Amino acid sequence: MKDAGKAKRPVFSRRTNWDLGENVLASACRAARESNKKLIDLTISNPTRSGFDYSAFDPSHDFASLENLHYNPDPLGLPVARKAVRDLYAQAGVPVPGNRLMLCASTSEAYSHLFRLLCNNGDALLAPVPSYPLFQFLADVCDVTLMPYRLHLETDGWRIDRKSLLAALSAKARAIIVVSPNNPTGSYLDAGDADFLCRTAQERGLALICDEVFADYPIAPRASAVRTLAGREGPLSFVLGGLSKLLAMPQMKLAWILTQGTDAEEACRRLEMIADTFLSVNAPVQNALPLWMPRREIIQGQVARRIAANMEFLRAELAGKPGLTVPPVEGGWYGLVAMEGIADEDGFALSLLEERGVVIHPGYYYDLGDDAFAVLSLLTPEDLWKDGVRALAEHHALVSVL
Ligand SMILES: Cc1ncc(COP(=O)(O)O)c(C=O)c1O
């Protein structure tokens, strides 16, 4: 065959020009694991690797329905599954019309559908900081710009910094994202902030996207915490939930978008078309949902007991330790430790790993600001948690400059 000349390399989109390298802490963790070093990982938030008992959700039984051999494509999701989700809201006192609820494969997919629904290239979305790092990638993939607004820590927890939210608004803004309870601050949306958000969204013609995936895991919500935005009239708003947290089963890949408020009907018709191009929700999980929803307490109870025990130990162990404080956590799966006297979060996390075999996430992963924080998963098994927290406190006492 004739030489076709020098092969040209394919071109990739600019939106995927990410730094794909491993960060310094991730490579140190990998090296430690490869050398079989015993680690106490205080960051594992995968519930299926946290020692919970899932035997009540036996797939060999719950997926055995012959219904699973039929393909009944429905862009909104199968009626039986949608009813199971609507029953959930009905039990919380929020009646949801059937055509306002759409299933999708994950909350991440829900975000992506919503970004596509609301934004043209270069439009902007307001997103909380500190929060969940995946937002930036979701925004990049959908060619939208994220405009951060800050949450600030008050004595009873984190609140929206309204000035920073108003400063982040521009003519390009299309929606405000709220995460309640937020990851990793554990803060619920405050009632006063909810009114402010609804007012602002309505005045500016913006939508609200409220991620409530952790809503079933209250720890110590303040009296004015908003437990759900579902059922609230006002601006166009989308409430997100999903099995990754509700049943602690991220592998099952089922989430939902509840649409309400101004122009909800038009939004639903367009969303249905977006979903119809993917039809991404699998049948077995949808068919199992009516069996699983009533059993949610079985898994949520285990998770809640673990979280309560770990929070109690964390507070007791760090009480009176100079330079270490535990900010209020209202809900969710994460705990924070504020660490005074630490100038370099990465340096602290690396030396904790190398000298004591304990893995934490530094606060800057979540944009926690100038103060040093350790971000910990409250799902950590209790015996490991105790050893890890003690080691963290001892290490801080040695290396901090107070
Ligand atoms: C706040 C928040 N929303 C959404 C997700 C993603 O959920 P899903 O597995 O449904 O995509 C996560 C994952 O941890 C999260 O922390």
Per-residue pLDDT of 191-238, as tens digits, reads 999 999 999 999 999 999 999 999 999 999 999 999 999 999 999 999
H helix runs in 35-143, sequence order: 59-62, 79-91, 107-118, 134-141
Mean pLDDT across 140-145: 96
pLDDT score for 156 = 85
Q: Which residues, 6+ apart, have CB-to-CB distance to 104 below 8 Å?
A: 77, 110, 113, 254, 255, 256, 257, 275, 280, 281
- The response to whether residue 187 sits with its C-beta less than 6 Å from ligand 1 reads no
pLDDT of 3 over the 90 cut:
no
- The response to whether residue 180 sits with its C-beta less than 6 Å from ligand 1 reads no
Look-up of token digits 């958000």: 197
pLDDT of 359 over the 80 cut:
yes
Give me ligand 1 centre to Cα 8, in Å: 39
- Residues 328 and 315 sit within 8 Å (Cβ to Cβ): no
Give me ligand 1 centre to Cα 103, in Å: 15
Beta bridge partners of 372: 339
210: its two tokens: 């409220």
pLDDT score for 5 = 77
Could you tell me the domains of the chain?
A: 14-53+297-399 (3.90.1150.10), 70-295 (3.40.640.10)
Give me ligand 1 centre to Cα 12, in Å: 27
Q: Band the pLDDT of 98: cuts 50, 70, 90.
A: confident
pTM over 0.85: yes
143: its two tokens: 């060619």
Give me ligand 1 centre to Cα 132, in Å: 8
Give me ligand 1 centre to Cα 213, in Å: 7
Mean pLDDT across 262-284: 97
Return the higher-pLDDT residue of 214 and 5. Answer: 214
Mean pLDDT across 182-187: 97
What whole-number percentage of the chain has pLDDT above 90? Answer: 97
Mean pLDDT across 146-156: 94
- Residues 292 and 247 sit within 8 Å (Cβ to Cβ): yes
pLDDT of 388 over the 90 cut:
yes
pLDDT of 2 over the 70 cut:
no
- The response to whether residue 250 sits with its C-beta less than 6 Å from ligand 1 reads yes
- The response to whether residue 213 sits with its C-beta less than 6 Å from ligand 1 reads yes
Which residue out of 46, 185, 216, 244 has the highest number of ligand 1 atoms within 8 Å of its CB and is therefore the one to mutate? 244
Give me ligand 1 centre to Cα 214, in Å: 9
86 φψ region: left (φ > 0), alpha (ψ -120 to 50), beta (else):
alpha
Average pLDDT, the chain: 96
- The response to whether residue 157 sits with its C-beta less than 6 Å from ligand 1 reads no
Beta bridge partners of 162: none
pLDDT of 25 over the 90 cut:
yes
d(CA 120, CA 103): 23
218: its two tokens: 């209250």
